[in-house]
Amino acid sequence: MERDRKAVKSWPATLRMLHWGMAIAIAAEVVVGFTMALTFLGAMQGGKVAQLHLRAGQVHHTLGFFLLAAVVWRLVVRLRHAAPADPDLGVGARIAARAVQGLLYLLMLLLPLSGWAALSALGAGAGYEAPSIWFFTHDGFAPGGMIPHIVTPRPWDAPGLLVYSTFAKFHVYAVYTGAVLLSVHIGAALYHHFWRRDRVLARMAARD
Ligand code: HEM
Ligand code: HEM
Protein backbone atom coordinates (compact mmCIF):
# COMPACT_ATOMS: atom_id res chain seq x y z
CA MET A 1 0.00 0.00 0.00
CA GLU A 2 2.86 2.37 0.86
CA ARG A 3 4.42 1.69 -2.57
CA ASP A 4 1.04 2.38 -4.24
CA ARG A 5 0.76 5.68 -2.45
CA LYS A 6 4.22 6.81 -3.54
CA ALA A 7 3.24 6.15 -7.16
CA VAL A 8 0.02 8.19 -6.80
CA LYS A 9 0.71 11.88 -7.44
CA SER A 10 -2.77 13.45 -7.38
CA TRP A 11 -6.14 12.73 -5.86
CA PRO A 12 -8.53 10.91 -8.25
CA ALA A 13 -10.57 13.24 -10.50
CA THR A 14 -13.91 12.16 -8.94
CA LEU A 15 -12.63 12.95 -5.46
CA ARG A 16 -11.32 16.34 -6.55
CA MET A 17 -14.68 17.14 -8.15
CA LEU A 18 -16.49 16.04 -4.99
CA HIS A 19 -14.09 17.95 -2.72
CA TRP A 20 -14.55 21.33 -4.45
CA GLY A 21 -18.19 20.79 -5.40
CA MET A 22 -19.07 19.93 -1.81
CA ALA A 23 -17.00 22.84 -0.46
CA ILE A 24 -19.14 25.25 -2.53
CA ALA A 25 -22.39 23.45 -1.65
CA ILE A 26 -21.53 23.44 2.08
CA ALA A 27 -20.80 27.19 1.98
CA ALA A 28 -24.22 27.75 0.35
CA GLU A 29 -25.86 25.39 2.87
CA VAL A 30 -24.43 27.41 5.78
CA VAL A 31 -25.62 30.75 4.33
CA VAL A 32 -29.10 29.33 3.69
CA GLY A 33 -29.13 27.67 7.16
CA PHE A 34 -28.44 30.99 8.91
CA THR A 35 -31.02 32.73 6.71
CA MET A 36 -33.57 30.12 7.80
CA ALA A 37 -32.61 30.42 11.49
CA LEU A 38 -32.55 34.25 11.50
CA THR A 39 -36.01 34.52 9.88
CA PHE A 40 -37.63 31.99 12.24
CA LEU A 41 -39.00 34.44 14.82
CA GLY A 42 -40.25 36.93 12.21
CA ALA A 43 -41.98 34.09 10.36
CA MET A 44 -43.64 32.83 13.56
CA GLN A 45 -45.00 36.37 14.15
CA GLY A 46 -46.45 36.35 10.63
CA GLY A 47 -43.97 38.95 9.35
CA LYS A 48 -42.87 39.60 5.76
CA VAL A 49 -40.00 37.14 6.15
CA ALA A 50 -42.37 34.13 6.40
CA GLN A 51 -42.01 33.30 2.70
CA LEU A 52 -38.22 33.67 2.82
CA HIS A 53 -38.10 31.40 5.88
CA LEU A 54 -40.16 28.70 4.15
CA ARG A 55 -38.09 28.81 0.95
CA ALA A 56 -34.79 28.87 2.88
CA GLY A 57 -35.97 25.77 4.80
CA GLN A 58 -36.88 23.93 1.62
CA VAL A 59 -33.53 24.73 -0.01
CA HIS A 60 -31.63 23.87 3.20
CA HIS A 61 -33.27 20.48 3.67
CA THR A 62 -33.15 19.51 -0.01
CA LEU A 63 -29.51 20.52 -0.47
CA GLY A 64 -28.68 18.83 2.86
CA PHE A 65 -29.99 15.50 1.57
CA PHE A 66 -27.92 15.84 -1.61
CA LEU A 67 -24.88 16.54 0.59
CA LEU A 68 -25.60 13.38 2.59
CA ALA A 69 -25.71 11.32 -0.63
CA ALA A 70 -22.55 13.05 -1.90
CA VAL A 71 -20.53 12.27 1.24
CA VAL A 72 -21.46 8.58 1.07
CA TRP A 73 -20.29 8.54 -2.58
CA ARG A 74 -17.12 10.42 -1.59
CA LEU A 75 -16.33 7.95 1.21
CA VAL A 76 -16.67 5.03 -1.22
CA VAL A 77 -14.31 6.73 -3.73
CA ARG A 78 -11.87 7.66 -0.94
CA LEU A 79 -11.72 4.11 0.43
CA ARG A 80 -11.32 2.52 -3.02
CA HIS A 81 -8.38 4.64 -4.21
CA ALA A 82 -4.90 5.04 -2.78
CA ALA A 83 -4.28 8.56 -1.45
CA PRO A 84 -1.17 10.41 -2.65
CA ALA A 85 1.87 9.95 -0.43
CA ASP A 86 2.03 12.24 2.59
CA PRO A 87 4.37 15.20 2.17
CA ASP A 88 7.62 15.15 4.08
CA LEU A 89 6.18 16.16 7.46
CA GLY A 90 6.70 15.17 11.07
CA VAL A 91 4.60 12.31 12.46
CA GLY A 92 2.57 14.76 14.59
CA ALA A 93 1.60 16.94 11.60
CA ARG A 94 0.66 13.87 9.58
CA ILE A 95 -1.55 12.52 12.35
CA ALA A 96 -3.12 15.98 12.81
CA ALA A 97 -3.92 16.24 9.07
CA ARG A 98 -5.51 12.78 9.05
CA ALA A 99 -7.45 13.51 12.25
CA VAL A 100 -8.85 16.79 10.87
CA GLN A 101 -9.85 15.11 7.59
CA GLY A 102 -11.45 12.20 9.47
CA LEU A 103 -13.40 14.57 11.73
CA LEU A 104 -14.57 16.56 8.70
CA TYR A 105 -15.96 13.32 7.23
CA LEU A 106 -17.69 12.57 10.55
CA LEU A 107 -19.28 16.03 10.55
CA MET A 108 -20.31 15.78 6.89
CA LEU A 109 -22.27 12.67 7.94
CA LEU A 110 -23.56 13.87 11.33
CA LEU A 111 -24.72 17.32 10.15
CA PRO A 112 -27.37 16.11 7.70
CA LEU A 113 -28.29 13.16 9.96
CA SER A 114 -28.85 15.41 13.01
CA GLY A 115 -30.87 17.87 10.86
CA TRP A 116 -32.96 15.00 9.55
CA ALA A 117 -33.45 13.64 13.07
CA ALA A 118 -34.51 17.10 14.31
CA LEU A 119 -37.13 17.43 11.59
CA SER A 120 -38.29 13.85 12.18
CA ALA A 121 -38.79 14.57 15.89
CA LEU A 122 -40.62 17.79 15.01
CA GLY A 123 -43.27 15.93 12.98
CA ALA A 124 -46.96 15.98 13.76
CA GLY A 125 -46.36 15.36 17.48
CA ALA A 126 -45.33 18.99 18.02
CA GLY A 127 -48.45 20.32 16.34
CA TYR A 128 -46.51 21.08 13.15
CA GLU A 129 -47.39 19.97 9.66
CA ALA A 130 -44.73 17.57 8.37
CA PRO A 131 -42.00 19.94 7.10
CA SER A 132 -41.88 20.40 3.35
CA ILE A 133 -38.50 18.87 2.69
CA TRP A 134 -38.48 19.11 -1.08
CA PHE A 135 -38.89 22.10 -3.34
CA PHE A 136 -42.43 22.96 -4.42
CA THR A 137 -43.87 22.15 -0.99
CA HIS A 138 -43.61 18.40 -1.34
CA ASP A 139 -44.24 16.71 2.00
CA GLY A 140 -41.05 14.90 2.92
CA PHE A 141 -42.21 12.34 5.40
CA ALA A 142 -43.34 8.79 4.72
CA PRO A 143 -45.86 7.25 4.15
CA GLY A 144 -47.22 10.19 2.06
CA GLY A 145 -43.80 11.68 1.31
CA MET A 146 -40.47 10.29 0.25
CA ILE A 147 -38.38 10.67 3.40
CA PRO A 148 -38.98 8.46 6.45
CA HIS A 149 -38.81 9.67 10.05
CA ILE A 150 -35.58 8.47 11.63
CA VAL A 151 -36.84 9.19 15.14
CA THR A 152 -40.42 9.05 16.40
CA PRO A 153 -42.21 12.42 16.27
CA ARG A 154 -42.85 13.82 19.78
CA PRO A 155 -44.26 17.00 21.32
CA TRP A 156 -41.70 19.74 22.10
CA ASP A 157 -41.86 19.16 25.83
CA ALA A 158 -41.97 15.33 25.75
CA PRO A 159 -39.72 13.75 28.40
CA GLY A 160 -36.47 12.13 27.32
CA LEU A 161 -33.68 13.17 25.00
CA LEU A 162 -35.08 12.25 21.59
CA VAL A 163 -36.81 15.61 21.00
CA TYR A 164 -36.27 18.39 18.43
CA SER A 165 -34.13 20.61 20.65
CA THR A 166 -31.53 17.89 21.36
CA PHE A 167 -30.88 17.22 17.67
CA ALA A 168 -31.10 20.92 16.73
CA LYS A 169 -28.54 21.84 19.43
CA PHE A 170 -26.25 19.06 18.26
CA HIS A 171 -26.66 20.32 14.67
CA VAL A 172 -25.73 23.89 15.61
CA TYR A 173 -22.72 22.80 17.75
CA ALA A 174 -21.58 20.65 14.83
CA VAL A 175 -21.68 23.76 12.59
CA TYR A 176 -19.35 25.64 14.97
CA THR A 177 -17.03 22.63 15.41
CA GLY A 178 -16.86 22.40 11.61
CA ALA A 179 -15.90 26.08 11.37
CA VAL A 180 -12.95 25.52 13.74
CA LEU A 181 -11.79 22.39 11.89
CA LEU A 182 -12.10 24.09 8.51
CA SER A 183 -9.99 27.04 9.68
CA VAL A 184 -7.24 24.58 10.59
CA HIS A 185 -7.73 22.64 7.32
CA ILE A 186 -7.69 25.69 5.05
CA GLY A 187 -4.88 27.30 7.07
CA ALA A 188 -2.78 24.14 6.60
CA ALA A 189 -3.49 24.10 2.84
CA LEU A 190 -2.35 27.72 2.55
CA TYR A 191 0.72 27.01 4.71
CA HIS A 192 1.73 24.20 2.34
CA HIS A 193 1.16 26.32 -0.73
CA PHE A 194 2.74 29.63 0.27
CA TRP A 195 5.22 28.68 3.02
CA ARG A 196 6.46 25.21 2.21
CA ARG A 197 5.75 25.64 -1.53
CA ASP A 198 4.95 21.94 -1.98
CA ARG A 199 2.28 20.28 -4.14
CA VAL A 200 -0.31 19.55 -1.45
CA LEU A 201 -2.79 22.17 -2.69
CA ALA A 202 -1.90 21.64 -6.36
CA ARG A 203 -2.60 17.90 -6.24
CA MET A 204 -6.10 18.56 -4.88
CA ALA A 205 -6.65 21.44 -7.32
CA ALA A 206 -5.59 19.74 -10.54
CA ARG A 207 -4.15 16.62 -12.13
CA ASP A 208 -0.41 16.25 -11.93
C1 HEM B 1 -23.86 19.41 5.50
C2 HEM B 1 -25.14 19.68 5.69
C3 HEM B 1 -25.68 20.80 6.55
C4 HEM B 1 -25.08 21.96 7.00
C5 HEM B 1 -23.65 22.46 6.76
C6 HEM B 1 -26.07 22.68 7.79
C7 HEM B 1 -25.88 23.92 8.39
C8 HEM B 1 -26.82 24.60 9.15
C9 HEM B 1 -26.67 25.93 9.69
C10 HEM B 1 -25.45 26.85 9.49
C11 HEM B 1 -27.78 26.23 10.42
C12 HEM B 1 -28.07 27.51 11.22
C13 HEM B 1 -27.45 27.35 12.59
C14 HEM B 1 -28.07 28.24 13.66
O15 HEM B 1 -29.28 28.18 13.85
O16 HEM B 1 -27.30 28.96 14.35
C17 HEM B 1 -28.65 25.07 10.34
C18 HEM B 1 -29.87 24.97 10.98
C19 HEM B 1 -30.75 23.91 10.79
N20 HEM B 1 -30.60 22.85 9.91
FE21 HEM B 1 -28.94 22.41 8.85
N22 HEM B 1 -27.24 21.94 7.82
C23 HEM B 1 -27.04 20.80 7.05
C24 HEM B 1 -27.98 19.82 6.76
C25 HEM B 1 -29.28 19.81 7.23
C26 HEM B 1 -30.30 18.82 6.88
C27 HEM B 1 -30.13 17.66 5.89
C28 HEM B 1 -31.41 19.13 7.61
C29 HEM B 1 -32.76 18.45 7.64
C30 HEM B 1 -33.22 17.65 6.72
C31 HEM B 1 -31.11 20.31 8.40
C32 HEM B 1 -31.98 20.91 9.30
C33 HEM B 1 -31.72 22.04 10.01
C34 HEM B 1 -32.61 22.59 11.03
C35 HEM B 1 -33.95 21.99 11.45
C36 HEM B 1 -32.00 23.75 11.51
C37 HEM B 1 -32.54 24.72 12.59
C38 HEM B 1 -31.87 24.39 13.92
C39 HEM B 1 -32.33 25.33 15.02
O40 HEM B 1 -33.39 25.07 15.62
O41 HEM B 1 -31.61 26.32 15.26
N42 HEM B 1 -29.81 20.71 8.14
N43 HEM B 1 -28.05 24.10 9.55
C1 HEM C 1 -11.14 26.74 0.55
C2 HEM C 1 -11.47 25.57 1.07
C3 HEM C 1 -10.60 24.35 1.09
C4 HEM C 1 -9.28 24.17 0.77
C5 HEM C 1 -8.26 25.22 0.32
C6 HEM C 1 -8.97 22.75 0.96
C7 HEM C 1 -7.77 22.14 0.69
C8 HEM C 1 -7.52 20.78 0.71
C9 HEM C 1 -6.32 20.13 0.27
C10 HEM C 1 -5.09 20.85 -0.28
C11 HEM C 1 -6.46 18.80 0.46
C12 HEM C 1 -5.42 17.68 0.13
C13 HEM C 1 -4.63 17.35 1.36
C14 HEM C 1 -3.52 16.33 1.02
O15 HEM C 1 -3.23 16.14 -0.16
O16 HEM C 1 -2.99 15.72 1.97
C17 HEM C 1 -7.76 18.57 1.03
C18 HEM C 1 -8.28 17.36 1.37
C19 HEM C 1 -9.45 17.17 2.05
N20 HEM C 1 -10.38 18.16 2.36
FE21 HEM C 1 -10.25 20.13 1.88
N22 HEM C 1 -10.10 22.12 1.40
C23 HEM C 1 -11.11 23.04 1.49
C24 HEM C 1 -12.41 22.82 1.89
C25 HEM C 1 -12.85 21.62 2.46
C26 HEM C 1 -14.17 21.41 3.00
C27 HEM C 1 -15.32 22.45 3.05
C28 HEM C 1 -14.20 20.12 3.47
C29 HEM C 1 -15.31 19.40 4.19
C30 HEM C 1 -16.14 19.92 5.03
C31 HEM C 1 -12.91 19.52 3.19
C32 HEM C 1 -12.54 18.22 3.52
C33 HEM C 1 -11.40 17.57 3.07
C34 HEM C 1 -11.13 16.15 3.22
C35 HEM C 1 -12.02 15.13 3.95
C36 HEM C 1 -9.93 15.89 2.56
C37 HEM C 1 -9.21 14.53 2.39
C38 HEM C 1 -9.36 14.10 0.95
C39 HEM C 1 -10.77 13.62 0.69
O40 HEM C 1 -11.11 12.53 1.18
O41 HEM C 1 -11.53 14.36 0.00
N42 HEM C 1 -12.12 20.46 2.58
N43 HEM C 1 -8.39 19.80 1.18
Give the closest residue (by CA) to ligand 2 atom 41.
19
Give the closest residue (by CA) to ligand 2 atom 26.
23
The per-residue pLDDT string of the chain (208 residues; one tens digit each, 9 = 90 and over) reads 444 555 677 899 999 999 999 999 999 999 999 999 999 999 989 889 999 998 999 899 999 999 999 999 999 999 999 889 887 888 999 999 999 999 999 999 999 999 999 988 886 555 566 667 766 556 677 777 778 889 988 887 888 999 999 999 999 999 999 999 999 999 999 999 999 999 999 999 986 6
CA of 201 to the centre of ligand 2 (A): 9
- The single-letter DSSP state of residue 147 is B
User: Among 38, 60, 119, which is best to mutate for testing ligand 1, by the most ligand atoms less than 8 A from CB?
Assistant: 60
Please tell me the pTM assigned to this model: 0.93
CB < 8 Å & 24+ apart, contacts of 53-59: 54/132, 56/32, 57/131, 57/132, 58/132, 58/133, 58/134, 58/135, 58/137, 59/32, 59/135
